[in-house]
A and B are shown apart, each in its own frame.
Chain A
Amino acid sequence: MGWEETQVRGYDEFMRTAQRYHGRPIFALFCGDKDAEGRSWCPDCVTAEPVVRKELHNLPDESVFIYCLVGDRAYWKDPNNEFRRNLKLTGVPTLLKYGTPQKLVEEECFKAELVRMLFTED
């Protein structure tokens, strides 16, 4: 079985989804919300998303890719939002391997080589 993608919005939905897939490798990309035209308020997320998507085929079998919209700009700027507090996110976009210290933040997500390394790293 290859890998699968699921899309969520907000902290609660993210945590429920991550728990549901417990036991499988989970990768998550956190981005700012998108408007009606599908554009995110976060310009770095707009740059990173296609780079990340292009590398998804490198995901190990059985893994789950969670695409998570964190909220609007105001929510994200709040230093106490749940993503910052509980998941220790410091910026968007963040691409991480859930349950490990492995993550790429902001401009690191623009680099296909680093994304590939995150997905294929032992």
Chain B
Amino acid sequence: SVQAHKEDKPQKPMEVNGLTPAPHSYDYDLIVIGGGSGGLAAAKEAAKYEKKVMVVDFVKPTPQGNSWGLGGTCVNVGCIPKKLMHQAALLGQALQDSRKFGWQFTEEVKHNWMTMTESVQNYIGSLNWGYRVALRDNKVTYENAYGEFVGPHTIKATNKRGVEKLYTAERFLIATGERPRYLGIPGDKEYCISSDDLFSLPYCPGKTLVVGASYVALECAGFLAGLGLDVTVMVRSILLRGFDQDMANKIGEYMKEHGVNFIREFVPTKVEQLEEGTPGRLKVTAKSTTGDRIIEGEYNTVLLAIGRDPCTRKIGLDKVGVNINEKTGKIPVSDEEQTNVPYIYAVGDILQDKLELTPVAIQAGRLLVRRLYAGATTKCDYVNVPTTVFTPLEYGACGYSEETAVEKFGEENIEVYHSHFWPLEWTVPSRDNNKCYAKIICNIQDNERVIGFHVLGPNAGEVTQGFAAAIKCGMTKEQLDNTIGIHPVCAEVCT
């Protein structure tokens, strides 16, 4: 039976997508399942329009037993700790460079994993708390409970003590995000860690094998190596699938030249524990993808970063008839983020064929809520979304990769302008003079409109953001050429 929190006055029947259902008294106007980037943005926006909103957020512990607070992947085990640890690694490099700029210190510079991790976790804790305060202040009800559909307009929320409660709402927003995929080989869950564990690891990971070639794999491998650890990346086939491959290969080359080992075209077949410990010692056996060769290696830590799977299989979608892609678990939605069930919407990483980025989820969530409750019509624009990969040599991109542009427009119809550059800050410490690189892809048939922007170099994210706005305005090559550069900065290479 449904525990309804009965209002004193009955609610008016609301028009839902043209259908006028029988009058209902729901507990909430909107229940958001998942308190991450998309879910929280939507919840806070809805509260602004005085809607009665609830957020249910729950983190199922990792196989290693790890969990975290409110805020989702980005805040807890994604963008935020990743960028902070990337910064820690960059600072290590800066310390080396600093000697050439006159700084004198005799001590050997060493890195303390625990000091870094405690600082990072402390900051994350303040963000978790900030979200709690923001929700409470905006009168959004929050429950730390696992939400799943049990029937039309109804979810069951189970907290960590197993206590179940039922809640009803006029509309639902699914924003449950994803979790790291495991290999499905012996020893993977028992002995391997994922990005869900890395950023709060209570001991230095030591000699690490990173399995995967995603940006998660390369970013983690990058900063671990930057902190002085012995890092190997085991890649099944190509690096950064989906990204411009010319840029992906340059990223890989740079990492290789800067101390990251790569084992290409191998996949692990089993992981065994040689010695327990923090860290322990693990033996990894791997098989070639192109032949019969078997190799073995010993590592303190094995980090799996082979992909992420949507949390959509165990939330009762079948009970309410929401379609998912059975193979991938992703949810197909209209361009208004509506599922096949009119009162159920979805945002974030779980969406089929949409970018898995925090700002995209936030924008989609906010615009959706404005359309639902404030009469707005603007839809989320998924085109020309900029992004940055925070590998040791950072990569910023917006628009088409070269290969996708060739495929869509034809090689003869695109023009690619490119250049290596040497950041001024790298000259004095004698750092690479031929690694930083920028390329612009233009559509000849459309006034040489800039349809792709790619830059490999320091502060790539900062550089790319402005160009993304220009691309959104339809900047042409001529306009770019007419823009006077700022000197001396890396970005001026584009002008």
Contact = CB atoms under 8 A, between A and B. Distances in A.
Interface of A: 100-104, 108, 111, 113-114, 117, 121-122
Contacts of A117: 132-133, 136
B106 interface: no
B136 A100 contact: no
B92 interface: no
A121 B136 contact: no
B373 interface: no
23 contacts: A100-B125, A100-B129, A101-B122, A101-B123, A101-B125, A101-B126, A101-B128, A101-B129, A102-B125, A102-B129, A103-B129, A104-B133, A108-B133, A111-B137, A113-B136, A114-B133, A114-B136, A114-B137, A117-B132, A117-B133, A117-B136, A121-B132, A122-B144
A52 to B, nearest CB: 15
A102 B144 CA distance: 17
A95 to B, nearest CB: 12
- Chain B contact residues (Cβ within 8 angstroms of A): what range? 10 to 19
A21 to B, nearest CB: 21
Nearest to A97: B129
Nearest to B121: A101
Interface string B291-302: 000000000000
A111 B125 CA distance: 21
List the 6 closest A-B pairs by CB distance, nearest first: A101-B126, A101-B125, A102-B129, A101-B129, A117-B136, A113-B136
Contacts of A104: 133
Contacts of A103: 129
Contacts of B122: 101
B163 to A, nearest CB: 13
Contacts of A122: 144
Interface string B117-147: 0000011011011001100110000001000
Contacts of A100: 125, 129
Contacts of B125: 100-102
Among A113, A114, A117, A121, which residue has the most Cβ atoms of chain B within 10 A?
A: A117
Contacts of A113: 136
Given A101-B122, A117-B136, 5 more contacts: A100-B129, A101-B128, A102-B125, A111-B137, A114-B133
A102 B122 CA distance: 10
Contacts of B133: 104, 108, 114, 117
Contacts of B137: 111, 114
B2 to A, nearest CB: 27
Contacts of B129: 100-103
A108 B126 CA distance: 15
A102 B128 CA distance: 9
Nearest to A108: B133
B140 to A, nearest CB: 12
Contacts of A114: 133, 136-137
B76 to A, nearest CB: 13
B454 to A, nearest CB: 38
A27 to B, nearest CB: 14
Nearest to B133: A114
Nearest to A116: B136
A105 to B, nearest CB: 10
B375 to A, nearest CB: 30
Nearest to A100: B125
A51 to B, nearest CB: 15
Contacts of B136: 113-114, 117
A78 to B, nearest CB: 24
A108 B137 CA distance: 9
Contacts of B144: 122
Contacts of A108: 133
A108 to B, nearest CB: 7
Nearest to B127: A101
A121 B122 CA distance: 17
A101 B132 CA distance: 12
A111 B135 CA distance: 13
A58 to B, nearest CB: 14
B365 to A, nearest CB: 24
B158 to A, nearest CB: 16
Nearest to B144: A122
B8 to A, nearest CB: 22
Interface in B463-485: none
A10 B133 CA distance: 28
B58 to A, nearest CB: 13
Interface string B206-242: 0000000000000000000000000000000000000
B343 to A, nearest CB: 30
Among A102, A104, A114, which residue has the most Cβ atoms of chain B within 10 A?
A: A102
B244 to A, nearest CB: 39
A116 B126 CA distance: 18
A14 to B, nearest CB: 20
B157 to A, nearest CB: 16
B52 to A, nearest CB: 16
Contacts of A121: 132
A117 B144 CA distance: 13
Nearest to B142: A117
A113 B135 CA distance: 11
Nearest to B125: A101
Contacts of A102: 125, 129
